[in-house]
Structure 1
Amino acid sequence: MKKVAAGVAASHLATARAGQRILRDGGTAADAAVAAVLACCAAETIYTGLGGGGFATYFDAATGEVTCLDFFVSVPGTDGDCEPGPMVAVDVFFGGMPQVYSIGGASVAVPGVPAGCGEVHRRWGRLPWAEVVAPAVELARDGVPVPAAHARTLDSCAPALAWGEGAAVYTPNGRQLKGGDLLFHDGLGTAMARLAEAGPQIFYTGDYAEIMVDTVRAAGGCLGPRDLADYRVLETPVDHAMMAGHRVLARHDMNRTVDTIAGLPDDLSRPGRAVGVASALRDQGRQKIGDTTNVSVVDADGNACVITTTLGLGAGVWLPGLGINLNSMLGEGELVTDDMQPGKRMSSNMCPLVVIDPEGHLAVAAGSAGASRIRTALVDTLLGVLADGLEMGEAIGRPRFHVVDDTVHVEPGYPRDELGALAAAGWQIKQWPGLNHYFGGVTAVGQAGAAGDPRRGGVGLLL
């Protein structure tokens, strides 16, 4: 059994360094993961932010217990005194095809990131809250260079991100941010410093709650004081399935990742598995892009904390003077279900997970960005590590395929014999021109090392 080295994997070097710093200062995996998530809210605002929501999976090495927390967004309207205005439709071009999203005040759901970070820290943290938030405060005050991979995502998402007040952030002086440019949010340093000082409740019952309600209402949304004051982080059931003798544990997500793993063929050897894997992955044609990011952390005691967060595309509704964009989840078509009532938690494809080896030790802590491709990215990465014996970076960086109905979307370099077997079995093959952020963004730490996804500028840092 190979022990997992302490480390952090994230989709930005600054994010990973924030988590690594907290590990070096004696923090737990939870401390470091929270620090990294809050760093994301300054460094990765193309993907996430304090106005978003997410999920956390925690592995306690001493007890072997796995806990999943839901701090995703909730449907507003419990105050009962509001009729939402119209949303703003935006076209986002992805893979050459337009995807219609809706943003604006009516798309804003109750955010969960501050509460979720606070709850993860309360349960499993060791360092003082202010010390955990400190790296994010510094990043927010100074600004952070944009990785080239993030700039490519911005190319697709600019119609939403650079809408309204976002224009000054993402297209300063009329020029869209490119790789190496400084991402800076005026006022976010102040907001992060107040979060460090006052704690997460400032967003739910404190002065930022009032600002949030007033801002969303003015933009035509229905967020109210009761929506925020009643918001709670939920503990959710943990699903499990076997892969290559290892136990995979995670929440039950909208895309049924754990169920998909349970449905994989018994023989996972290549090339024979391709058709069975594609059949297990067959989904219902969802192809939304999604702004999401993930951090995965393991500490020196072997505890693991994986947190995935998102803004959707961002509503384009900014808290005045605080540099915080709010989520657009009510405008994400694939997340809108028939049973949405005020106060109800929305559904999500996010699936932070841990893998336990046959001896009961941690093998992998991983999560991914990518909306409906999260499941694809995680399954392929786990197959690479657990079935194919690859190092983490190789497993994450190799070409993937994603199934939509009867079409296999595939990155260049995928094995020709497997594509031939898929075609012979009746699958349509759509070749993409290069590795693309469409295919997800895995970050993982495990026995096979630590790595982030090159599709999203990811990095893995060991302690």
Structure 2
Amino acid sequence: MTAEKRWHASSASLVLIASLLLSPAALADARRQTPSHPPGAAIASAHALATEAGMQMLREGGNAFDAAVATSAALSVVEPISSGLGGGGFFLLHDAKTGKDVFVDARETAPAAATPAEYLLENGEFNRDRAENGPWSAGIPGLPAAFVHLADKYGKLPLKTTLAPAIKLAREGFPIYARLVRGYASRRAVMERYPGTRAVFLASGAPLKEGEIFKQPDLANTLETLAAKGFDGFYRGDIADKLLAGVKAEGGRWTAQELAGYRVREREPVSVEYRGWRIVTAPPPSSGGIALAEMLQILEGWDLSKLDPAHRIHLVVESMRRAFRDRTFYLGDPDFVKIPAATLTSPGYAAGLRATIHPQKATPSDLLSGEETPLEDDETTHFSIIDADGNRVAATQTVNLTFGSGLIPPGTGVLLNDEMDDFALKPGTPNAFGVMGYDANAPKPGKRMLSSMTPTFMESPDRVAVLGTPGGSRIITMVLLGVLGYDAGLDAQAVAALPRYHHQWMPDRIQAETGAIAPQVAAELKAMGHGLDLPADEAAGGRGSSHVWGNLQTVLWDRKAGTLSTGSDPRNPVGRGEVMRMGTAAAK
């Protein structure tokens, strides 16, 4: 039986391939003896046209960072349901020449007018419509500034070159696919509130239809202005004026100073050792890296390969539960909040948490009940890149919910995000993804809202992996399962296809995809005291969550074998298997 089959087995014993445990000194020595360059370049993204845009930059002499700009911008055009110039993202970079890892934070920021009081109804209840739709839901965008930053500091090619594929896609159009049609149908009532949005999505007089060519001339003009003028092309001048006017016309309050004052932040990534791997991942304002480090260090106390499926899932879930509890109370924008990061990511703290886990019984999450966690599969996207020099990029970008706020300021083509809902707008009230927060994640002028995006690098003496995924609060646990999959010896495509389960402290139940937890295993977990929310057609019951989630994109460099491979999530609804081949590409 292969490692992949053993990993997927949910009703038989799991026999995982254990990684060799090395001291940090031995691990560093082993790294020095491995090849310094991969045998080519590889990109995995959620859309074939975006992957091709990145590969085009590599063919034209650019590096992974140029490819990242091109891929990100192309995704902003062909996946408006997921991300765009009106949103933000995180870019985890590895510079092969210096060996340095850096985290580029292009998260959106809060407008000064967006105080918690603005998100309450007259009776004091939370105004969810204002938090999720229209101008008040939108933070100041960060993605255009990220393009400028990457091009100026890390790339080899000018923005006029790296943005050219996206400009062409916006101007000439691309075929509409089923996910866009479904997404528009689900958000149509909101999007058609706004004249600027109607002008783009109802340009033909009717909603999007699968197979038609979708052109966005205003977005092409905005991208061209950004390419020609850099930062000022978006955050000042004509485009900025149109953004401000569009927000104001719908009752929002942005200022020219807030737009012009936006800046990306470079931050030190979170780094942790796990079973011979060096894991490099996202720091705050992402919650993902600290939570991932916490979960991995808790789990390092057990040899998961020796456990039956039920007890293995039990321990993984208990690590998830504790990390998400800490996320709720401690994490926020590090420019505004003192975060006990050293404590939360320390082995000693993990050992203390591990000691609270009963090997046979679930720990009740207690306190508040929660709401079912919606998906963010359509609202976020990820891509992974390794170039021939060994530079690496893991990038996750988003507009938050499906088509973000639904608002396009007229004449810009820019669909604004609805990231304000990721703040704790009303303390203790769950957001659209069922997670809640308190003062650490309360909005303040210029503050960045907490995120779950978790772009990640893994490095061992033999293998280097780049991975990440959309999925709302489930991003963190999907990346965790991906890390465990690579540690078990799986290849890139097997990791992308892994069945998924999730726990986020509140609501106190395990969620899982169809087939991820076999009926017998579910029964054993229930006997331990776990609440389960399995798809409705499965035996163990529960209220029924969506049957699949996520869209993991990963690249693997096998140093020992001298190979480079990619994994694109088979759940990807754009073309399914065809896009797995087209949406991941390798070139020598």
For normalisation by structure 1, the TM-score amounts to: 0.87
Structure 1 residue runs of 5 or longer lacking an equivalent are: 92-99
Say if 1:158 and 1:192 are closer, same or farther in 2 by CA, change over 3 A.
same
Superposition map of 1:112-151 within 5 A: 112-151=142-181
Q: Report % sequence identity.
A: 32
User: SS in structure 1 opposite 2:474?
Assistant: helix
C-alpha displacement of 1:422:
2.8
Matched, 1:280 2:319: yes
Aligned partner of 1:235 in structure 2 is 266
1:48-447 matches, cutoff 5 A: 48-77=83-112, 102-154=132-184, 156-161=186-191, 163-165=193-195, 166-167=197-198, 169-170=200-201, 176-177=207-208, 179-252=210-283, 253-255=286-288, 256-265=291-300, 266-269=302-305, 271=309, 272-282=311-321, 283=324, 287-290=373-376, 291-313=379-401, 314-332=404-422, 333=431, 338=439, 339-358=442-461, 363-387=464-488, 389-404=489-504, 405-414=507-516, 416=518, 418-432=521-535, 439-447=549-557
- Relative to 1, partners in 2 of residues 1:209 and 1:439: Cα closer, same or farther, differing over 3 Å? same
1:151–1:178 Cα contact (<8 Å) kept: yes
RMSD: 3.1
More strand by share: 1
Q: Structure 2: how far apart are the matches of 1:125 and 1:335? A: 38
1:312 to 1:174, Cα distance in 2 relative to 1, 3 A = farther
Stretch deviating more after TM superposition (285-294 or 113-122): 285-294
Matched letter for residue 471 of structure 2: G
Q: What is the distance in 2 between the residues matched to 1:4 and 1:242?
A: 26
Residue in structure 2 matched with residue 96 of structure 1 by the alignment: none
Structure 1 residues 336, 403: closer, same or farther in 2, change over 3 A?
closer
Deviations 1:369-420 (A, max 9, x none): 1110111211112222222x22211211232112244322222222526545
Question: Aligned equivalents of 2:203 and 2:281: distance in 1?
Answer: 40
Distance of aligned partners of 1:346 and 1:194 in 2 relative to their CA distance in 1, 3 Å threshold: same
Aligned partners of 1:175, 1:381: CA distance in 2, in Å? 41
- How much has 1:168 moved relative to structure 2? 5.5
The answer for the alignment partner of 2:354 in structure 1 is none
Structure 1 residues 203-230: Cα deviation after superposition (integer angstroms, max 9, x where no partner): 1123211221121122111210111111
The CA deviation at 1:151 is 4.4
Choose 158-167 or 337-346, whichever is displaced more: 158-167
Cα pair distance change 1:393/1:153, threshold 3 Å: farther
Which SS does the other structure have where 1:315 is aligned? coil
Any conservation in 1 of the 2:87–2:398 contact (CA below 8 Å)? yes
- The 8 Å contact of residues 225 and 234 in structure 2, kept in 1 or not, is answered as no
Structure 1 residues 73 and 297: CA distance shift in structure 2, 3 A = same
Q: How has the CA–CA distance of structure 1 residues 390 and 171 changed in structure 2, closer, same or farther, with 3 Å as cutoff?
A: farther
Q: Deviations over 1:256-287 (max 9, x none)?
A: 23322222243132635221111112246572
Q: Tell me the amino acid that sits aligned with residue 74 of structure 2.
A: A
Amino acid aligned to 2:271: H
C-alpha distance in structure 2 between counterparts of 1:381 and 1:155, whole Å = 32
Conserved 8 A contact 2:299-2:319: yes
Which residue in the other structure is 1:462 paired with?
Answer: 586
Verify the 8 A CA contact 1:316 1:326 in the aligned structure 2: yes
Q: Distance in 1 between matches of 2:206 and 2:242?
A: 30
Query: Residues 163 and 297 from structure 1, CA distance in 2 versus in 1: closer, same or farther, beyond 3 angstroms?
Result: farther
Give 3-state SS (helix, strand or coil) of 1:325's partner.
coil
Letter in structure 2 aligned against 1:353 = T
Deviations 1:97-125 (A, max 9, x none): xxx96211111211100001111222210
In 2: Cα distance, 1:5 partner to 1:268 partner: 34
For 2:282, give the aligned amino acid.
R
Following the alignment from structure 1 to structure 2, what is the Cα–Cα distance between the partners of residues 377 and 171? 36
1:148-168 C-alpha deviation (Å, 9 max, x unpaired): 445455554545455534356
CA drift at 1:293: 0.9
CA distance in 2 between counterparts of 1:85 and 1:421 reads 43
What is the distance in 1 between the residues matched to 2:204 and 2:526?
Answer: 49
Aligned residues of 1:377 and 1:439 also touching (Cα < 8 A): no
**Residue range with higher mean Cα deviation, 159-168 or 136-145:** 159-168
My pick for the range that moved more, 259-268 or 389-398, is 259-268
Which segment drifts farther, 180-189 or 15-24?
Answer: 180-189
Which of 72, 76, 87 is equivalent to 1:37?
A: 72
Q: Which runs of 5+ in 2 are unaligned?
A: 1-33, 326-369, 423-430, 538-544, 559-564, 575-579
188-197 or 3-12, which deviates more: 3-12
Q: Show the counterpart of 1:13.
A: 48
Amino acid in structure 2 at the alignment position of 1:276: L
The code of the aligned residue for 2:568 comes to G
Report the 3-state secondary structure (helix = DSSP H, G, I; strand = E; otherwise coil) of the residue aligned with 1:187: helix
CA distance in 2, matches of 1:214, 1:12: 32
After superposition, the Cα gap between the structure-2 partners of 1:398 and 1:178, relative to the gap in structure 1 and judged at 3 Å, is farther
8 A contact 1:241–1:259 mirrored in 2: no
- Write the deviation string for residues 215-260 of structure 1: whole angstroms up to 9, x where unpaired: 1122111210111111111112321223332111112322523322
In structure 1, C-alpha distance between the alignment counterparts of 2:194 and 2:485, rounded to whole Å? 43
Do the aligned partners of residues 230 and 45 (structure 1) sit closer, same or farther apart at CA in structure 2, a change above 3 Å counting?
same
Q: 1:84–1:221: 8 Å Cα contact kept in structure 2?
A: no
Report the CA distance between 1:42 and its aligned residue: 0.6
TM-score w.r.t. length of structure 2: 0.70
Give the paired residue count.
Answer: 450
Shift of 1:69: 1.2
1:348 deviation in Å? 1.1
The answer to whether the 8 A contact 1:59-1:305 is kept is: yes
